Structure 1
Amino acid sequence: MADGEGVPDTVDALRMRVGQALAGAGIEDPAVDAELLIGHVLGLSRGQVQSRAITRAAVAAAYAERVLALAARR
């Protein structure tokens, strides 16, 4: 992750941040929703998101910001 409050710079950091936000909002299965939101923005399947999270693949700030915005709306 870029820093404590900055935009996450890896898929795993983004998945964790979005999952925590969704859990705080009372979403029933925040991990699944986080992976689906990330996949939607990046054009990836849920399995591909999981694979990129495991390998700590980089994510562009613009994509991370879009995912965070969608999670906030959720």
Structure 2
Amino acid sequence: MSVFVARQAILNRNQNVAAYELLFRDSPENCFPGVSDGQATARLIMENQLNLGTRHITSGKKALINIGPESLK
């Protein structure tokens, strides 16, 4: 199964990229998968930290991931 990670730039007040928000996708069509936010977050963390690393995806910028309350339990 393929995993796709989308990144969205987060800009600072000078309009420079300060970080990227990483988003899990299950197809190249950029559709949100039919899984819960918690499942998507867990999969994103697992795939990026264990397999890919975030430096390659974020060009060395900070990587931010939205985490819902259920993921913090």
Name the TM tier (shorter chain): 0.3 to 0.5
Larger radius of gyration: 2
Structure with greater proportional helix content = 1
The normalised TM-score by structure 1 is 0.33
Structure with greater proportional strand content = 2
Greater RCO (CA < 8 Å, at least 6 residues apart):
1
